[in-house]
Chains A and B, each alone.
Chain A
């Protein structure tokens, strides 16, 4: 076996056989499942408290039209209530309309700040009440207006068919793709940081316990660095694969064992966890997910995930190794040295999470091509479909970027690994990186 192979083998086995690895591999899926089922249980057993809102000085158009269907707020139109006594009368908030039918801004008095959800709900209810009132003023009877209002609440849904090249169309599920994309991006983000810092710690350990001098009298520093990076990449893939397999098995077991009601709650909770938010159409959406699950190119997504995970890991791992090589026993400055590496990773995730609902926006397209952010951001776009040229460009850049960072990092590593007692600055490291060897 060649020497890099030996190093990969040692790095892999010493970590996989470790108790921490076994614990995190088997406990995490269980904790994850417990979390989902637990939060589903709590959300189905805890009822949201309805807020009582007293409305005063109604200009006349709201009294018979203002109502809420979501179960979040209840509107009352009490007499002789004002800002001084609404709390004593048992209301949570007071909406003062100032008898104003022209300006559309009202003031809400409450003991504490109202939450964002309720603010939105009240505003929507006001809009609806205003529209219904307008209809009635234009001669439509209240009975008709109410009946229309009931029929049109969440009545319509869109299913999206994507037109392919030869005029074929394929049904896609926007929510599902969004969930998968965001989930994959998040997973890459977390694993990149976790396994990246594992590389850094490994390098630091070799340096501080001084085995490194013995090793590099047998192998080239580059072989040692690459052996470590690939060994840990293999550990990461093993762990991801085991997590995936375990979660699938646990989900299958849960579906089989638990009553269907509990499963529904669990799915809702899972969806909510992935940032979907909970609303009235969730049940419909879940049904749609089950119908369109075959529309997902699972193999393609898994393939891309593995590519972007490995590509992103290799791109950053060399940099983490370079930083690890410059750290001394006293690791006070570890934070300062790792920050320039973790910043782009965190920034990529911010781009992903703030633009995921609009995956073809320019910032997403660019961030999915630039290798610093592409592993995280591109995964958010892939399930919804990405033009081939963008995918190709992004992959090419990532591979090229990997070679570039590795080349520069290897030079820093080579120098840093034998420097003791001296604090290294980024300025020095950049000097080492661009020095001719």
Chain B
């Protein structure tokens, strides 16, 4: 796999805040990359540098092996910001055409693509309606279409599902998978962890302008696992004090336990066998990203404080 985007020691300081403070990571082509972080962590500033809206104070961005050039590379990037809007008085078809042409498509080519996507999302009848007549979900669909219309090689979606009903959210989710399969790279910024687990291959977690974690979702979960196991059994042993595990949660027919160090899973099974209790299920429980996120971010003050630079 090729590396499509490399960030090297990016920094962006504002008057009262180190918005992005020395962040580096790589993104592979075709990946769905989750950029996570609490509110105010610096995600949007980071994205704005990747889209060429902000220039970094220092550090560099490499796009497809070359130094990132906001003017010429804009054609290959599709960006859907979190706070997004449209020209309210414009007709929907014209609006989609306009944004596609601003990305550098010819009018004819843009027209074909817009029609194709409108058909796919069943939006043909919208063409001559005005943007102000759209519901929130509808305009979000339009925004998604205008983001991916020009077949960008890098697609950046900032909270793409906020405000969408499950049906439309699934529609867009499927589209994201399809685009990634066809070779587009997707950066997916959110603080909704369950979506990240479902969609992303790789993630990076930023907090207070710094990257505190990155890797594949699987690896990260293994790194943060706490030896939790779920045991389903017919009868629960009466005395649960044992040197091999600690019970975290007990229910009528299942136990959540944490194995002590050096305990092997078979030791647990043996313990149940010795007690002659039938085990129906035995499953490792990996921490959710949400748990990891909270664990890592916790302890830092809830709201980011203003700081003085220099």
**Which A residues fall within an 8 A CB radius of B?**
1, 3, 6-7, 10, 14, 18, 209-220, 418, 420, 437
Q: Are B101 and A214 in contact (CB under 8 A)?
A: no
Other than the given A210-B84, A218-B104, 15 more pairs (CB < 8 A) read A3-B102, A6-B98, A7-B102, A14-B89, A211-B84, A213-B79, A213-B84, A214-B84, A214-B85, A214-B99, A215-B102, A217-B81, A220-B70, A418-B53, A437-B55
Provide the residues of chain A in CB contact with B98, threshold 8 Å.
6, 10
A213 in contact with B81 (CB, 8 Å): yes
- B51 at interface, CB cutoff 8 A: yes
Q: Using Cβ atoms and an 8 Å threshold, which residues of chain B touch A214?
A: 79-81, 84-85, 99, 143, 146
Known: A6-B98, A6-B102, A418-B53. A217 touches B87 (CB 8 A): no
A288 to chain B, nearest CB (A): 50
By beta carbon, the residue of chain B nearest A210 is B85
Nearest Cβ in chain A — how far from B90, in angstroms?
Answer: 7
By a beta-carbon cutoff of 8 Å, the part of chain B in contact with chain A is 48, 51-53, 55, 70-71, 74, 77, 79-81, 83-90, 98-99, 101-104, 107, 143, 146
> In the complex, what's the smallest C-beta–C-beta distance from A433 to chain B, in angstroms?
15
Q: A14, B90: Cβ atoms under 8 Å? A: yes
Bound CA span A215–B81, Å: 11
CB distance from B162 to the nearest CB of A (A): 13
A6 to B48, CA, bound (A): 23
Picked from A210, A213, A218, the residue with its CB within 8 Å of the CB of B99 is A218
The number of A-B residue pairs with CB atoms under 8 Å apart is 63
Query: Given A6-B102, A220-B71: A211 and B52 within 8 A (CB)?
Result: no
Give me 28 A-to-B residue pairs in the complex whose CB atoms sit less than 8 angstroms apart, sorted by A's number: A3-B104, A6-B101, A7-B102, A14-B87, A14-B89, A14-B90, A209-B86, A210-B81, A210-B83, A210-B84, A211-B84, A211-B85, A213-B81, A213-B83, A214-B80, A214-B85, A214-B146, A215-B102, A216-B53, A217-B53, A217-B77, A217-B81, A218-B74, A218-B99, A219-B102, A220-B70, A418-B53, A420-B83
Q: Which secondary structure characterizes the binding site on chain A?
A: loop
Choose one: A218, A220, A418; the contact of B103 (CB below 8 Å): A218
The answer to whether A213 touches B88, judged by C-beta atoms less than 8 angstroms apart, is: no
CB of A217 within 8 A of CB of B71, answer no
Least CB distance, B271 to chain A, in whole angstroms: 58
CB distance from B20 to the nearest CB of A (A): 15
Bound-complex Cα distance A169 to B51 (A): 66
Shortest beta-carbon distance from A235 to chain B in Å: 14
- In the assembled complex, the Cα of A420 lies from the Cα of B53 at a distance in Å of 15
Question: Shortest CB–CB separation between residue B153 and chain A, in angstroms?
Answer: 15
Closest CB-CB distance, A328 to chain B, in whole Å? Answer: 13
Residues of B near A14 (CB, < 8 A) are 87, 89-90
